[in-house]
Amino acid sequence: MKVFEGLKFKRGTTAIHRLDPRTKFLISCIIFTLALLFTELISIIILFIAQIPFIFSARIYKEWSRSIRGSLTLVAIILLTNLIVGYVSNNFQLSSQLLTYSISMAFRFVVLMSSFSLFFLTTSPDDLSLALEQSHIPYEFCFAFTTAVRFVPVLAIEAQTIMDAQRSRGLELDKGNFLKRIRNYIPILIPLIVGAIRRSLELAEAMESRAFGAKKKRTNLYILQLKRSDYITFLISFIILSLALYIRYNITIPDIQIPL
Amino acid sequence: MIEVENVSFTYPSGVEALKEINLKIKDPDFIAIIGENGAGKTTFIKHLNGILKPTQGEIYVNGVNTKKASVAELSRDVGLVFQNPDHQLFCETVEEEIAFGLKNFGFNKDTISERVTWALNLLDLTKYRKVSPFMLSGGERKRVALATILSWDPKILVLDEPTIGQDFNQKEKLRQFIIQLNSQGRTVIMVTHDVEFVADCNPNVIVMSNTRIINTGSAREVLTNFDLLAKASVLPPQITQLFTQLSDLGLPQNIIDFYKAKQLIIELTKEKLDNEGL
Protein backbone atom coordinates (compact mmCIF):
# COMPACT_ATOMS: atom_id res chain seq x y z
CA MET A 1 0.00 0.00 0.00
CA LYS A 2 3.07 2.21 0.16
CA VAL A 3 2.63 3.01 -3.54
CA PHE A 4 -0.61 4.85 -2.86
CA GLU A 5 0.88 6.94 -0.09
CA GLY A 6 3.27 8.36 -2.67
CA LEU A 7 0.30 9.66 -4.64
CA LYS A 8 -1.37 11.45 -1.74
CA PHE A 9 -1.17 15.23 -1.81
CA LYS A 10 1.10 16.72 0.86
CA ARG A 11 0.29 20.31 1.73
CA GLY A 12 3.23 22.67 1.38
CA THR A 13 4.29 26.17 0.38
CA THR A 14 7.48 25.47 -1.58
CA ALA A 15 8.11 26.96 -5.03
CA ILE A 16 7.09 23.63 -6.59
CA HIS A 17 3.79 23.62 -4.70
CA ARG A 18 3.05 27.15 -5.84
CA LEU A 19 3.54 26.37 -9.53
CA ASP A 20 0.39 26.23 -11.60
CA PRO A 21 -0.94 22.65 -11.76
CA ARG A 22 -0.86 22.87 -15.56
CA THR A 23 2.85 23.64 -15.45
CA LYS A 24 3.52 20.72 -13.15
CA PHE A 25 1.45 18.48 -15.36
CA LEU A 26 3.51 19.57 -18.34
CA ILE A 27 6.75 18.76 -16.52
CA SER A 28 5.45 15.31 -15.63
CA CYS A 29 4.32 14.75 -19.20
CA ILE A 30 7.71 15.77 -20.56
CA ILE A 31 9.51 13.41 -18.18
CA PHE A 32 7.03 10.73 -19.20
CA THR A 33 7.65 11.32 -22.93
CA LEU A 34 11.40 11.40 -22.47
CA ALA A 35 11.36 8.17 -20.49
CA LEU A 36 9.48 6.50 -23.33
CA LEU A 37 11.75 8.02 -26.01
CA PHE A 38 14.98 6.69 -24.63
CA THR A 39 15.81 3.09 -23.94
CA GLU A 40 19.49 3.45 -23.06
CA LEU A 41 20.30 2.92 -19.42
CA ILE A 42 22.41 6.06 -19.24
CA SER A 43 19.59 8.35 -20.45
CA ILE A 44 17.15 6.79 -18.02
CA ILE A 45 19.61 7.36 -15.17
CA ILE A 46 20.01 11.01 -16.22
CA LEU A 47 16.22 11.43 -16.24
CA PHE A 48 16.04 9.94 -12.76
CA ILE A 49 18.78 12.20 -11.41
CA ALA A 50 17.13 15.24 -13.06
CA GLN A 51 14.07 14.78 -10.86
CA ILE A 52 15.95 14.70 -7.58
CA PRO A 53 16.36 18.50 -7.21
CA PHE A 54 12.58 18.90 -7.61
CA ILE A 55 11.91 16.23 -4.99
CA PHE A 56 14.17 17.92 -2.45
CA SER A 57 13.03 21.47 -3.14
CA ALA A 58 9.40 20.38 -2.70
CA ARG A 59 10.37 18.69 0.63
CA ILE A 60 8.62 15.47 -0.28
CA TYR A 61 11.61 13.16 -0.05
CA LYS A 62 10.06 10.90 2.60
CA GLU A 63 6.77 10.32 0.77
CA TRP A 64 8.48 10.04 -2.59
CA SER A 65 10.93 7.39 -1.40
CA ARG A 66 8.04 5.49 0.15
CA SER A 67 6.23 5.34 -3.18
CA ILE A 68 9.41 4.24 -4.94
CA ARG A 69 10.04 1.52 -2.37
CA GLY A 70 6.41 0.46 -2.70
CA SER A 71 6.77 0.05 -6.47
CA LEU A 72 9.80 -2.23 -6.15
CA THR A 73 7.72 -5.41 -6.50
CA LEU A 74 6.42 -4.22 -9.86
CA VAL A 75 9.93 -3.19 -10.85
CA ALA A 76 11.14 -6.71 -10.09
CA ILE A 77 8.31 -8.19 -12.16
CA ILE A 78 9.20 -5.93 -15.14
CA LEU A 79 12.87 -6.87 -14.83
CA LEU A 80 12.12 -10.59 -14.68
CA THR A 81 9.58 -10.51 -17.54
CA ASN A 82 12.05 -8.70 -19.81
CA LEU A 83 14.83 -11.09 -18.87
CA ILE A 84 12.74 -14.21 -19.40
CA VAL A 85 11.16 -13.07 -22.68
CA GLY A 86 14.56 -11.90 -24.01
CA TYR A 87 16.23 -15.12 -22.85
CA VAL A 88 13.66 -17.34 -24.54
CA SER A 89 13.48 -15.37 -27.82
CA ASN A 90 17.28 -15.17 -27.96
CA ASN A 91 17.68 -18.96 -28.23
CA PHE A 92 18.15 -19.35 -24.50
CA GLN A 93 21.21 -17.16 -24.31
CA LEU A 94 21.83 -14.54 -21.71
CA SER A 95 23.78 -11.57 -23.06
CA SER A 96 25.08 -8.52 -21.30
CA GLN A 97 23.01 -6.47 -23.75
CA LEU A 98 19.83 -8.17 -22.64
CA LEU A 99 20.67 -7.63 -18.98
CA THR A 100 21.34 -3.91 -19.55
CA TYR A 101 18.12 -3.55 -21.55
CA SER A 102 16.03 -5.29 -18.88
CA ILE A 103 17.51 -3.16 -16.13
CA SER A 104 16.83 0.03 -18.07
CA MET A 105 13.23 -1.07 -18.74
CA ALA A 106 12.71 -1.68 -15.03
CA PHE A 107 14.40 1.59 -14.15
CA ARG A 108 12.23 3.39 -16.68
CA PHE A 109 9.23 2.39 -14.61
CA VAL A 110 10.85 3.95 -11.54
CA VAL A 111 11.26 7.19 -13.51
CA LEU A 112 7.59 7.16 -14.58
CA MET A 113 6.47 6.37 -11.06
CA SER A 114 8.63 9.13 -9.68
CA SER A 115 7.31 11.76 -12.11
CA PHE A 116 3.71 10.91 -11.21
CA SER A 117 4.59 10.89 -7.56
CA LEU A 118 6.12 14.36 -7.90
CA PHE A 119 2.98 15.68 -9.58
CA PHE A 120 0.41 14.19 -7.21
CA LEU A 121 2.38 14.90 -4.04
CA THR A 122 2.56 18.61 -4.81
CA THR A 123 -0.82 19.22 -6.47
CA SER A 124 -3.98 19.36 -4.38
CA PRO A 125 -7.00 17.56 -5.88
CA ASP A 126 -8.85 20.90 -5.89
CA ASP A 127 -6.16 22.56 -7.98
CA LEU A 128 -6.13 19.62 -10.30
CA SER A 129 -9.87 19.83 -10.81
CA LEU A 130 -9.64 23.57 -11.50
CA ALA A 131 -6.85 23.04 -14.00
CA LEU A 132 -8.87 20.45 -15.88
CA GLU A 133 -11.97 22.61 -15.89
CA GLN A 134 -10.08 25.63 -17.16
CA SER A 135 -8.68 23.47 -19.92
CA HIS A 136 -12.31 23.19 -21.14
CA ILE A 137 -12.72 19.56 -20.17
CA PRO A 138 -16.41 18.82 -19.33
CA TYR A 139 -17.00 19.14 -15.59
CA GLU A 140 -18.34 15.58 -15.24
CA PHE A 141 -15.02 14.19 -16.44
CA CYS A 142 -13.02 16.51 -14.18
CA PHE A 143 -15.14 15.50 -11.25
CA ALA A 144 -14.80 11.80 -11.96
CA PHE A 145 -11.05 12.12 -12.32
CA THR A 146 -10.44 14.16 -9.18
CA THR A 147 -12.77 11.94 -7.18
CA ALA A 148 -10.79 8.92 -8.27
CA VAL A 149 -7.55 10.60 -7.18
CA ARG A 150 -9.08 11.76 -3.91
CA PHE A 151 -10.33 8.30 -3.02
CA VAL A 152 -7.03 6.51 -3.53
CA PRO A 153 -5.82 7.16 0.05
CA VAL A 154 -9.27 6.32 1.41
CA LEU A 155 -9.12 2.98 -0.40
CA ALA A 156 -5.61 2.39 0.91
CA ILE A 157 -6.82 2.83 4.51
CA GLU A 158 -9.78 0.58 3.83
CA ALA A 159 -7.54 -2.10 2.31
CA GLN A 160 -5.49 -2.05 5.54
CA THR A 161 -8.61 -2.47 7.69
CA ILE A 162 -9.82 -5.34 5.50
CA MET A 163 -6.43 -7.00 5.79
CA ASP A 164 -6.58 -6.67 9.57
CA ALA A 165 -10.10 -8.10 9.64
CA GLN A 166 -9.16 -11.12 7.51
CA ARG A 167 -5.96 -11.75 9.44
CA SER A 168 -8.15 -11.84 12.55
CA ARG A 169 -9.92 -14.77 10.90
CA GLY A 170 -6.69 -16.68 10.61
CA LEU A 171 -5.74 -15.63 7.06
CA GLU A 172 -1.98 -15.67 6.57
CA LEU A 173 -1.16 -13.52 3.55
CA ASP A 174 2.45 -14.53 3.08
CA LYS A 175 2.02 -18.27 3.48
CA GLY A 176 2.19 -20.88 0.75
CA ASN A 177 3.65 -20.94 -2.76
CA PHE A 178 3.39 -18.16 -5.34
CA LEU A 179 -0.11 -19.10 -6.60
CA LYS A 180 -1.44 -19.63 -3.08
CA ARG A 181 -0.16 -16.20 -2.12
CA ILE A 182 -2.04 -14.58 -4.99
CA ARG A 183 -5.17 -16.50 -3.98
CA ASN A 184 -4.71 -15.21 -0.42
CA TYR A 185 -5.57 -11.74 -1.70
CA ILE A 186 -9.07 -12.71 -2.85
CA PRO A 187 -10.57 -12.16 0.63
CA ILE A 188 -9.01 -8.66 0.58
CA LEU A 189 -9.94 -7.69 -2.98
CA ILE A 190 -13.62 -8.68 -2.96
CA PRO A 191 -14.66 -6.56 0.06
CA LEU A 192 -12.50 -3.72 -1.30
CA ILE A 193 -14.14 -3.74 -4.73
CA VAL A 194 -17.66 -4.25 -3.37
CA GLY A 195 -17.05 -1.37 -0.95
CA ALA A 196 -15.77 0.90 -3.73
CA ILE A 197 -18.80 0.21 -5.92
CA ARG A 198 -21.17 0.70 -3.02
CA ARG A 199 -19.43 3.95 -2.12
CA SER A 200 -19.57 5.26 -5.67
CA LEU A 201 -23.33 4.69 -5.79
CA GLU A 202 -23.75 6.46 -2.48
CA LEU A 203 -21.57 9.31 -3.68
CA ALA A 204 -23.67 9.68 -6.84
CA GLU A 205 -26.84 9.93 -4.77
CA ALA A 206 -25.24 12.42 -2.39
CA MET A 207 -24.00 14.53 -5.29
CA GLU A 208 -27.39 14.54 -6.95
CA SER A 209 -29.08 15.62 -3.73
CA ARG A 210 -26.64 18.54 -3.74
CA ALA A 211 -27.80 19.59 -7.21
CA PHE A 212 -24.96 18.11 -9.22
CA GLY A 213 -25.51 18.97 -12.87
CA ALA A 214 -28.38 21.37 -12.22
CA LYS A 215 -26.78 24.14 -14.29
CA LYS A 216 -24.73 23.60 -17.45
CA LYS A 217 -22.33 26.40 -16.58
CA ARG A 218 -20.75 26.31 -13.13
CA THR A 219 -18.96 29.21 -11.53
CA ASN A 220 -15.73 28.87 -9.56
CA LEU A 221 -14.57 30.64 -6.43
CA TYR A 222 -10.92 30.49 -7.47
CA ILE A 223 -9.47 30.99 -10.91
CA LEU A 224 -6.01 29.75 -11.86
CA GLN A 225 -3.66 32.24 -13.42
CA LEU A 226 -0.24 31.51 -14.92
CA LYS A 227 2.51 33.48 -13.18
CA ARG A 228 5.94 34.52 -14.42
CA SER A 229 7.53 31.51 -12.75
CA ASP A 230 5.17 29.30 -14.76
CA TYR A 231 6.15 30.90 -18.07
CA ILE A 232 9.82 30.55 -17.21
CA THR A 233 9.31 26.86 -16.33
CA PHE A 234 7.39 26.34 -19.56
CA LEU A 235 10.24 27.83 -21.54
CA ILE A 236 12.94 25.78 -19.83
CA SER A 237 10.92 22.59 -20.21
CA PHE A 238 10.46 23.17 -23.93
CA ILE A 239 14.15 23.85 -24.43
CA ILE A 240 14.97 20.61 -22.62
CA LEU A 241 12.40 18.68 -24.64
CA SER A 242 13.67 20.03 -27.99
CA LEU A 243 17.25 19.35 -26.95
CA ALA A 244 16.34 15.80 -25.99
CA LEU A 245 14.53 15.23 -29.27
CA TYR A 246 17.54 16.55 -31.16
CA ILE A 247 19.86 14.22 -29.26
CA ARG A 248 17.51 11.30 -29.74
CA TYR A 249 17.39 11.57 -33.52
CA ASN A 250 20.80 12.98 -34.40
CA ILE A 251 23.32 11.68 -31.89
CA THR A 252 24.11 8.10 -30.97
CA ILE A 253 24.14 7.83 -27.22
CA PRO A 254 27.15 5.97 -25.85
CA ASP A 255 25.55 3.28 -23.75
CA ILE A 256 27.04 1.50 -20.79
CA GLN A 257 26.91 -2.27 -20.73
CA ILE A 258 26.53 -4.17 -17.54
CA PRO A 259 28.93 -7.14 -17.72
CA LEU A 260 27.49 -10.55 -16.97
CA MET B 1 -5.95 -13.94 30.86
CA ILE B 2 -4.62 -10.75 29.32
CA GLU B 3 -1.84 -8.76 30.94
CA VAL B 4 -1.07 -5.32 29.57
CA GLU B 5 2.15 -3.87 30.93
CA ASN B 6 2.90 -0.19 30.44
CA VAL B 7 1.86 -0.20 26.80
CA SER B 8 2.25 2.82 24.54
CA PHE B 9 1.61 2.89 20.82
CA THR B 10 2.50 5.41 18.14
CA TYR B 11 1.28 4.98 14.56
CA PRO B 12 3.94 5.15 11.80
CA SER B 13 2.48 8.54 10.87
CA GLY B 14 3.60 9.80 14.29
CA VAL B 15 0.17 9.94 15.93
CA GLU B 16 0.34 8.77 19.55
CA ALA B 17 -2.70 6.58 20.08
CA LEU B 18 -2.02 4.86 23.41
CA LYS B 19 -0.05 6.00 26.44
CA GLU B 20 1.05 3.94 29.45
CA ILE B 21 -1.78 1.44 29.48
CA ASN B 22 -1.71 -1.02 32.40
CA LEU B 23 -4.38 -3.64 32.77
CA LYS B 24 -5.04 -7.19 33.86
CA ILE B 25 -8.06 -9.04 32.50
CA LYS B 26 -8.80 -12.33 34.26
CA ASP B 27 -11.01 -15.04 32.75
CA PRO B 28 -13.97 -14.92 32.57
CA ASP B 29 -14.33 -11.17 32.77
CA PHE B 30 -16.93 -9.01 31.06
CA ILE B 31 -15.63 -5.58 30.13
CA ALA B 32 -16.96 -2.57 28.27
CA ILE B 33 -14.56 0.09 27.03
CA ILE B 34 -16.09 3.52 26.64
CA GLY B 35 -14.64 6.92 25.76
CA GLU B 36 -14.72 9.72 23.21
CA ASN B 37 -13.97 9.29 19.50
CA GLY B 38 -10.23 8.98 19.01
CA ALA B 39 -9.60 8.01 22.64
CA GLY B 40 -7.68 4.92 21.50
CA LYS B 41 -10.32 2.23 22.11
CA THR B 42 -10.09 0.54 18.72
CA THR B 43 -6.31 0.88 18.66
CA PHE B 44 -6.21 -0.84 22.03
CA ILE B 45 -8.32 -3.85 21.05
CA LYS B 46 -6.28 -4.30 17.86
CA HIS B 47 -3.37 -5.03 20.20
CA LEU B 48 -5.16 -7.96 21.81
CA ASN B 49 -4.79 -10.28 18.81
CA GLY B 50 -1.52 -8.82 17.64
CA ILE B 51 -2.69 -6.81 14.61
CA LEU B 52 -0.84 -3.93 16.23
CA LYS B 53 2.22 -4.51 18.37
CA PRO B 54 3.02 -2.07 21.19
CA THR B 55 5.80 0.40 20.46
CA GLN B 56 6.57 0.28 24.19
CA GLY B 57 5.66 -2.23 26.89
CA GLU B 58 4.37 -5.79 26.54
CA ILE B 59 1.05 -7.58 26.24
CA TYR B 60 0.68 -11.20 27.31
CA VAL B 61 -2.31 -13.25 26.16
CA ASN B 62 -2.51 -16.45 28.23
CA GLY B 63 1.19 -16.01 28.94
CA VAL B 64 2.20 -15.49 25.28
CA ASN B 65 3.88 -12.20 24.40
CA THR B 66 1.95 -10.72 21.45
CA LYS B 67 5.20 -9.51 19.91
CA LYS B 68 6.37 -13.10 19.56
CA ALA B 69 3.23 -14.64 18.03
CA SER B 70 1.47 -14.21 14.69
CA VAL B 71 -2.01 -12.71 14.34
CA ALA B 72 -3.31 -16.13 13.29
CA GLU B 73 -1.90 -17.84 16.39
CA LEU B 74 -3.32 -15.20 18.71
CA SER B 75 -6.68 -15.07 16.94
CA ARG B 76 -7.31 -18.70 17.84
CA ASP B 77 -7.71 -17.51 21.45
CA VAL B 78 -8.77 -13.91 20.89
CA GLY B 79 -11.66 -13.51 18.45
CA LEU B 80 -11.89 -9.92 17.25
CA VAL B 81 -15.13 -8.84 15.54
CA PHE B 82 -14.62 -5.67 13.53
CA GLN B 83 -17.06 -2.80 13.57
CA ASN B 84 -17.97 -2.94 9.90
CA PRO B 85 -18.95 -6.42 8.61
CA ASP B 86 -18.40 -5.22 5.03
CA HIS B 87 -14.68 -5.25 5.74
CA GLN B 88 -14.64 -9.02 5.95
CA LEU B 89 -17.53 -10.61 4.04
CA PHE B 90 -16.46 -11.96 0.64
CA CYS B 91 -17.80 -15.51 0.13
CA GLU B 92 -20.70 -16.63 -2.05
CA THR B 93 -22.76 -18.02 0.81
CA VAL B 94 -23.07 -17.37 4.52
CA GLU B 95 -22.07 -20.98 5.12
CA GLU B 96 -18.74 -20.60 3.26
CA GLU B 97 -18.16 -17.32 5.02
CA ILE B 98 -18.32 -19.05 8.41
CA ALA B 99 -16.19 -21.95 7.20
CA PHE B 100 -13.41 -19.61 6.02
CA GLY B 101 -11.88 -19.04 9.46
CA LEU B 102 -12.26 -22.70 10.40
CA LYS B 103 -10.37 -23.75 7.24
CA ASN B 104 -7.62 -21.26 8.02
CA PHE B 105 -7.19 -22.78 11.47
CA GLY B 106 -6.97 -26.24 9.92
CA PHE B 107 -10.04 -27.91 11.38
CA ASN B 108 -11.05 -31.16 9.66
CA LYS B 109 -14.06 -31.39 7.35
CA ASP B 110 -16.50 -32.94 9.85
CA THR B 111 -15.65 -30.46 12.55
CA ILE B 112 -16.06 -27.58 10.09
CA SER B 113 -19.58 -28.58 9.03
CA GLU B 114 -20.50 -29.24 12.67
CA ARG B 115 -19.20 -25.83 13.77
CA VAL B 116 -20.86 -24.01 10.86
CA THR B 117 -24.25 -25.49 11.77
CA TRP B 118 -23.66 -24.61 15.42
CA ALA B 119 -22.73 -20.99 14.66
CA LEU B 120 -25.65 -20.54 12.24
CA ASN B 121 -28.04 -21.80 14.92
CA LEU B 122 -26.49 -19.69 17.62
CA LEU B 123 -27.08 -16.45 15.73
CA ASP B 124 -30.41 -17.31 14.19
CA LEU B 125 -28.97 -17.47 10.68
CA THR B 126 -29.85 -21.03 9.63
CA LYS B 127 -32.37 -19.84 7.05
CA TYR B 128 -29.63 -17.80 5.33
CA ARG B 129 -27.24 -20.76 5.07
CA LYS B 130 -27.11 -20.73 1.26
CA VAL B 131 -27.75 -17.00 0.80
CA SER B 132 -25.07 -14.55 -0.32
CA PRO B 133 -23.94 -12.39 2.61
CA PHE B 134 -24.17 -9.37 0.30
CA MET B 135 -27.94 -9.86 0.00
CA LEU B 136 -28.51 -9.52 3.75
CA SER B 137 -29.47 -6.40 5.68
CA GLY B 138 -26.88 -4.45 7.67
CA GLY B 139 -27.91 -6.00 10.96
CA GLU B 140 -27.86 -9.51 9.52
CA ARG B 141 -24.42 -8.97 7.99
CA LYS B 142 -23.23 -7.89 11.41
CA ARG B 143 -24.52 -11.15 12.87
CA VAL B 144 -22.81 -13.15 10.11
CA ALA B 145 -19.55 -11.38 10.99
CA LEU B 146 -20.05 -12.34 14.63
CA ALA B 147 -20.87 -15.94 13.65
CA THR B 148 -17.67 -16.22 11.59
CA ILE B 149 -15.60 -15.43 14.68
CA LEU B 150 -17.65 -17.45 17.18
CA SER B 151 -17.40 -20.52 14.93
CA TRP B 152 -13.97 -21.48 16.30
CA ASP B 153 -15.09 -20.71 19.85
CA PRO B 154 -12.31 -18.34 20.98
CA LYS B 155 -11.75 -18.09 24.74
CA ILE B 156 -11.76 -14.32 24.58
CA LEU B 157 -14.26 -12.45 22.43
CA VAL B 158 -13.59 -8.83 21.50
CA LEU B 159 -16.40 -6.80 19.92
CA ASP B 160 -16.00 -3.39 18.30
CA GLU B 161 -19.28 -1.45 18.45
CA PRO B 162 -21.55 -4.54 18.44
CA THR B 163 -24.83 -2.59 18.71
CA ILE B 164 -24.47 -0.32 15.67
CA GLY B 165 -27.23 -0.93 13.13
CA GLN B 166 -29.13 -3.35 15.35
CA ASP B 167 -32.80 -2.76 16.14
CA PHE B 168 -34.12 -3.00 19.68
CA ASN B 169 -34.99 -6.71 19.48
CA GLN B 170 -31.64 -7.72 18.03
CA LYS B 171 -29.86 -5.62 20.62
CA GLU B 172 -31.72 -7.37 23.41
CA LYS B 173 -30.88 -10.77 21.88
CA LEU B 174 -27.25 -9.70 21.57
CA ARG B 175 -27.23 -8.67 25.24
CA GLN B 176 -28.59 -12.03 26.40
CA PHE B 177 -26.21 -13.79 24.08
CA ILE B 178 -23.14 -11.95 25.38
CA ILE B 179 -24.15 -12.54 28.98
CA GLN B 180 -24.68 -16.22 28.24
CA LEU B 181 -21.24 -16.52 26.62
CA ASN B 182 -19.71 -14.83 29.63
CA SER B 183 -21.50 -17.10 32.08
CA GLN B 184 -20.20 -20.09 30.12
CA GLY B 185 -16.68 -19.03 31.00
CA ARG B 186 -15.63 -16.85 28.09
CA THR B 187 -14.16 -13.41 28.50
CA VAL B 188 -16.03 -10.72 26.59
CA ILE B 189 -14.56 -7.29 25.87
CA MET B 190 -16.64 -4.77 23.96
CA VAL B 191 -15.99 -1.27 22.74
CA THR B 192 -19.13 0.84 22.57
CA HIS B 193 -20.63 4.33 22.62
CA ASP B 194 -23.99 2.92 23.68
CA VAL B 195 -24.16 3.68 27.43
CA GLU B 196 -27.72 2.36 27.68
CA PHE B 197 -26.45 -0.99 26.39
CA VAL B 198 -23.58 -0.93 28.90
CA ALA B 199 -26.02 -0.16 31.72
CA ASP B 200 -28.25 -3.08 30.73
CA CYS B 201 -25.31 -5.49 30.41
CA ASN B 202 -23.77 -4.38 33.71
CA PRO B 203 -20.13 -5.28 32.96
CA ASN B 204 -16.92 -3.85 34.39
CA VAL B 205 -16.18 -0.60 32.62
CA ILE B 206 -12.91 0.89 31.41
CA VAL B 207 -13.04 4.60 30.58
CA MET B 208 -10.52 5.83 28.03
CA SER B 209 -9.82 9.40 27.17
CA ASN B 210 -7.11 10.99 25.06
CA THR B 211 -4.97 7.81 24.66
CA ARG B 212 -5.10 6.83 28.36
CA ILE B 213 -7.24 4.73 30.68
CA ILE B 214 -8.67 7.27 33.10
CA ASN B 215 -10.78 4.95 35.24
CA THR B 216 -11.98 1.40 35.76
CA GLY B 217 -14.84 0.14 37.87
CA SER B 218 -18.25 -1.49 37.90
CA ALA B 219 -20.85 -0.13 35.49
CA ARG B 220 -22.72 1.38 38.43
CA GLU B 221 -19.66 3.20 39.79
CA VAL B 222 -18.55 4.54 36.44
CA LEU B 223 -21.88 5.46 34.87
CA THR B 224 -22.99 7.49 37.89
CA ASN B 225 -19.72 9.45 38.06
CA PHE B 226 -20.77 12.47 36.00
CA ASP B 227 -17.45 14.34 36.23
CA LEU B 228 -15.51 11.32 35.04
CA LEU B 229 -17.88 10.68 32.13
CA ALA B 230 -17.76 14.33 31.06
CA LYS B 231 -13.96 14.02 30.71
CA ALA B 232 -14.48 11.22 28.18
CA SER B 233 -17.36 12.99 26.38
CA VAL B 234 -19.81 10.33 27.55
CA LEU B 235 -23.33 11.18 28.67
CA PRO B 236 -24.74 9.00 31.50
CA PRO B 237 -27.73 6.76 30.66
CA GLN B 238 -31.03 8.66 30.46
CA ILE B 239 -32.39 6.84 33.51
CA THR B 240 -29.40 8.00 35.57
CA GLN B 241 -29.85 11.57 34.35
CA LEU B 242 -33.55 11.47 35.25
CA PHE B 243 -32.98 10.04 38.73
CA THR B 244 -30.22 12.56 39.42
CA GLN B 245 -32.43 15.45 38.39
CA LEU B 246 -35.18 14.13 40.63
CA SER B 247 -32.90 13.55 43.62
CA ASP B 248 -34.80 16.28 45.53
CA LEU B 249 -37.73 13.87 45.73
CA GLY B 250 -35.53 11.44 47.62
CA LEU B 251 -34.71 9.21 44.64
CA PRO B 252 -31.31 7.47 44.75
CA GLN B 253 -28.68 8.69 42.26
CA ASN B 254 -26.97 5.40 41.54
CA ILE B 255 -29.57 3.90 39.22
CA ILE B 256 -28.33 2.97 35.77
CA ASP B 257 -30.77 0.49 34.31
CA PHE B 258 -34.43 0.46 33.44
CA TYR B 259 -35.34 -2.66 35.43
CA LYS B 260 -33.99 -1.39 38.73
CA ALA B 261 -35.60 2.00 38.12
CA LYS B 262 -38.98 0.44 37.45
CA GLN B 263 -38.75 -1.62 40.62
CA LEU B 264 -37.88 1.43 42.70
CA ILE B 265 -40.70 3.55 41.31
CA ILE B 266 -43.21 0.77 42.00
CA GLU B 267 -41.97 0.47 45.58
CA LEU B 268 -42.05 4.21 46.20
CA THR B 269 -45.49 4.63 44.70
CA LYS B 270 -46.85 1.73 46.74
CA GLU B 271 -45.35 3.19 49.90
CA LYS B 272 -46.87 6.56 49.14
CA LEU B 273 -50.28 5.09 48.41
CA ASP B 274 -50.10 3.03 51.64
CA ASN B 275 -49.20 6.13 53.64
CA GLU B 276 -52.16 7.97 52.24
CA GLY B 277 -54.29 5.04 53.31
CA LEU B 278 -55.51 4.13 49.84
How do residues B198-252 score in pLDDT, each as one tens digit? 999 999 999 999 999 999 999 999 999 999 999 999 999 999 999 999 888 888 8
Q: Which residues contact B53 (CB under 8 A, 6 or more apart)?
A: B47, B66, B67
Per-residue confidence band for B278, with pLDDT thresholds at 50, 70 and 90? low
Tell which B residues from 85 to 104 touch A, by Cβ distance under 8 Å.
86-90, 100-101, 104
Q: Is A254 a residue whose pLDDT tops 80?
A: no
**B134, A194: Cβ pair inside 8 Å?**
yes
**Taking all residues of chain B, what is their mean pLDDT, rounded to a whole number?**
93
pLDDT (0 to 100) of residue B79: 96
Whether the per-residue pLDDT at A58 is higher than 70: the answer is yes
pLDDT computed for residue A6 by the predictor:
65
CA torsion through residues A171, A175, A178, A180, sign: negative
Task: Work out how many CB contacts closer than 8 A connect A with B.
Answer: 61
- Provide the pLDDT for residue A4: 64
Residue of B71, B77, B102, B146 to mutate when probing chain A, most A C-beta within 10 A: B71
Q: How far does A166 lie from chain B, in Å, by closest CA?
A: 6
Architecture of domain B2-233: 3-Layer(aba) Sandwich (3.40)
Position A197 pLDDT exceeds 60: yes
> Chain-wide mean pLDDT for chain A?
87
- Tell me the mean pLDDT in the region B10-29: 93
- The model's confidence at residue A144, banded by pLDDT at 50, 70 and 90, is confident
Which run of H or of E encompasses B10?
strand B2-10
All residues of chain A having their beta carbon less than 8 Å from the beta carbon of residue B51 are: 164, 167-168
d(CA A104, CA A255): 11
Where do the domains of chain B lie? 2-233, 237-278
Work out the average pLDDT over B79-94.
94
Element (H, E) at A26: helix A21-37
Residues A41-47, mean pLDDT to the nearest whole number: 89
Is there a contact between A169 and B101 if contact means CB atoms under 8 Å apart? yes
What is the mean pLDDT of the segment spanning B146-150?
95
* Structure ipTM over 0.85, yes or no: yes
Average pLDDT over residues B253-266: 87
In the predicted structure, residue A149 carries a pLDDT above the cut 60: yes
Better-predicted residue by pLDDT, B132 or A135? B132
What percent of chain A lies above the pLDDT cut of 70? 97
CB within 8 A of B202, min separation 6: which ones?
A: B218, B219, B220, B256, B257
Mean pLDDT over residues A211-227, rounded?
Answer: 84
Mean pLDDT, range A70-99, rounded to an integer? 89
- Do B63 and B69 contact (CB within 8 A), yes or no? no
Q: Phi/psi at A165 (nearest 5 deg)? A: -65, -40
All residues of chain B having their beta carbon less than 8 Å from the beta carbon of residue A164 are 46, 51, 82
Residue B273 or residue B95, greater confidence: B95
- For residue B185, pLDDT over 70 is answered with yes
- Which residues in chain B touch residue A169, judged by CB atoms under 8 angstroms apart? 75, 88, 100-101, 104, 148-149
Is 60 exceeded by the pLDDT of residue A128? yes
Instruction: Name every chain B residue with its beta carbon within 8 A of the beta carbon of A195.
Output: 86-87
Scored b (16 or more CB within 10 A) or e, A71-81 reads beeebeebbee
**CB contact (8 A) between residue B86 and residue A166:** no
Chain segment B90-117, per-residue pLDDT in tens? 999 999 999 999 999 999 999 999 999 9
Q: How far is CA A151 from the centre of its chain?
A: 15
- This prediction has a pTM of 0.77
Indicate the residue type of B195.
V
CA torsion angle B52 B55 B57 B63 (round to 10): 30
| Smallest Cα distance from B35 to chain A, Å | 21
Kindly tell me if the per-residue pLDDT of A2 is higher than 70: no
pLDDT at residue A22 tops 80: yes
Tell me: pLDDT of A3 over 70: no
